[in-house]
Amino acid sequence: MSLVIDRLSLRGEGVTAEGVTVALALPGEVVEGEIAEGRIARPRILTPVADRVRPPCPHFANCGGCALQHASDDFVACWKTDVVETALGGQGLKAVLDPIHSSPPASRRRATLAGRRTKKGVLIGFHGRASDQIVAIPDCRLLHPDLMAALPGCEALVALGASRSGEVALTLTRSEDGVDLAVAGVKQAAAAGLAALAERHDLARLTWNGEVIATRRPPRQRLGRAHVVPPPGAFLQATEDGQAALTDAVRRALDGAQRVADLFAGCGTFALPLAEAAEVHAVEGDGAMLAALDRGWRGAPGLKRVTHEARDLFRRPLRPDELARFDAAVIDPPRAGAEAQVDQIAASPLARLAYVSCNPVTFARDAKRLCSAGFRLERVQVVDQFRWSAHVELVATFTRSHIA
C-alpha cells in the first residue's frame, strides 16, 4: 500500500493524511513500507519530490545527529519559517518575518556525544535515529573541525573511564582557547592520569563527573567586547554564527534603550553586548553562570554598568514594580517558555521587549498573552543555527505605546 506525505511533523518527519509518521520523507512524496505502531521507520520512496537531495554526510542514513539532510536548504528554510507562522496563526497572530538566517555546515561549536567501550575498542558518536545504538561519525559534516580533532582524546578518556556496560556522555565545547570537555557517567580515575591525557590531547579544560580536573587554559567565549569563561556544561548558543545573528536581532529590537533587564541571562549572551550601549540588570537562576558574567563584565573595556541577581524566574518572576525601573527587556527562556514572567511583563509599564525563543509553540502562547496586554508584535527574525535539525530559534520584537 502506497501513502502520500502530507506534511512534516515538528520533529521533521513526514506525516500522511492518515496520521502515519514516515521517517526521512518529504511532503508530496509517495512512499511505502512496513507500519509499526503508526510509523514507517525505513520507507521506500516511490516518488521523490524535487526538494529531495543527496545527504552530504555519509552517516546520515543511520545517525540521529541530523534530521533533514535529505531536504534542500531552500525547503528547510521555508519549512522553519512556516513553523513559526503556523504557531503564531494558531494563536490568531501575524508578524513580519525577516529572511531566515542559517548557520553554515561544520559550525557547531557545542555537542554532546555518547561513548562506550566495546569488544573492538571504543565507540563514540551520536545515537542512531530512534535508537540507543551509537553511530560513529568520523566524517561528520555538522561539527566544527576543532571538535572533530578532539575525538581521539575522547576515545582515550572513554577507554580509561567507561565501564563494560555503561555509556559515557561527552560534552564538547569549542572555545577561543581550545576544546572544553566535560565527561559524565565515568568511573573514578586518578587525577594525575586524567591531567596527563588533557595535556597530551591539548584540551583547554577537562571536567570529570562534574569535577574540574585540569584547566590548562581558561576556555573563553567572546560575548560582545567581553570574554567569559562559562562553568562546565553551562548553556551556550550552538554556533558563533547563530549567536551573532540572535544578538544582532536583540540589539535592533532594543536600539536606543538606556536601562535593560535581561531575564534568563545565562553567562551574558545578550547582557554583555547590550552593555556597550545601555545599563543592564541580568537575572539568572544559576549563580555560577552569573559569576562568570560578572567576571567577564569587569574585565571588558568600555561597558556600561551591569548588575546581576540570582533568582528563579519560574517561581519568583520580576514583578511589575521591579520592571518599571527599565525601559526595555530581553527574555530568553528555556523551551517551556515563561508564562509566569510574561504575565508580570504584561501587567508592567514596560514598553519594549525582545523575546528570544527556541520553541515556536510556547513562544506563540506567550506572544498571545503579551498582545492581549497591548503589545504589538512588530517583527520576527528566524534563526536556523541547528542546521539539518528540526529546531527553530527566533527573536521577536514587541512594542507598545500605552498599557492596556
Active site residues: 358
Provide the pairing of β-strand 205-208 with 211-215.
antiparallel
Beta strands in 250-375 (DSSP E): 259-263, 279-284, 306-310, 328-331, 352-357
Residue 394 near residue 331, CB atoms below 8 Å: no
Q: Cβ contacts of residue 180 below 8 Å, gap of 6+?
A: 172, 173, 174, 203, 204, 205, 207, 219, 232
Cell of 172: 564538547
| DSSP annotation of 118 | E
Q: What is the DSSP letter of 182?
A: E
Please tell me whether 13 is known to bind a ligand.
Answer: no
Residue partners of 9: CB distance under 8 A and separation at least 6 = 15, 21
C-alpha 34/C-alpha 222 separation (Å) is 49
Q: Which of 192, 187, 205 is nearest to 150 (CA)?
A: 205
284 is known to lie in a ligand binding site: yes
| Three-state SS at 132 | coil
C-alpha distances (whole Å) from 283 to each of 133, 259, 280, 338 are 39, 14, 10, 14
Single out the residue of 206, 249, 227 nearest to residue 96, CA to CA: 249
Q: What are the φ and ψ backbone dihedral angles of 68, each rounded to 5 degrees?
A: -130, 30
- On whether the CB atoms of residues 35 and 16 are closer than 8 A, the answer is no
Is 243 within any annotated ligand binding site? no
Is 332 annotated in a binding site? The answer is: yes
Binding-site residues from annotation: 237, 264, 284, 332
Binding-site residues from annotation for S-adenosyl-L-methionine: 237, 264, 284, 332
